[in-house]
Amino acid sequence: MENYWKYLQGNEQLIKNFYDAVMSSIEDMKNRDKFAYYSAYFTVHESVFGKHFSEELAKEAVGNMKNADGTFGEHWTIQQTDSLLSSNGVSYNKYDFYYVVNMLYSDFCNVVGSDSTIYFKMARAYLDDPDASPDKAYCLWKSRFFM
């Protein structure tokens, strides 16, 4: 393929056209080849955000959670989980943290209850796992699309 990038440089309309064409092609794959679709989708996502959640992707992932207590979606908002990070002087990708805290609540709320302090500690342990890479939350979530 040609090196299209050199033709796109500095031209916002061409960049938008290129983006729209790529994303349209990826969407067309959705019904024909799920593996190819998810491979392309995550390649595009990771080229922008690395192997971490973006705000949009985190909200989508959390929004699809079926919680053990019978509820659906987030228990804590991004603003609430970000406040937990700030008030405790801890820095993680805030969207990874939002996903993990809500994922832990979703899976363990019937055992642990709803004390945000406990989930904060569990999320830190999950994200600081010495056996795992810093992109653990995103990569484990993403892996479900390739099973």
- Residue ranges with strand state E in 24-90: none
pLDDT at 89: 87
Cα separation of the two ends of the chain: 31
pLDDT at 1: 59
pLDDT at 81: 95
Q: What is the mean pLDDT of the chain?
A: 93
Lowest mean pLDDT among 19-28, 56-65, 76-85, 93-102: 19-28
The band of 9, judged by pLDDT with boundaries at 50, 70 and 90, is confident
The band of 111, judged by pLDDT with boundaries at 50, 70 and 90, is very high
The band of 120, judged by pLDDT with boundaries at 50, 70 and 90, is very high
Q: What b/e string do you get for 25-55 counting C-beta neighbours within 10 Å, with b at 16 or more?
A: ebeebeeeeeeebbebbbeebeeebebbbee
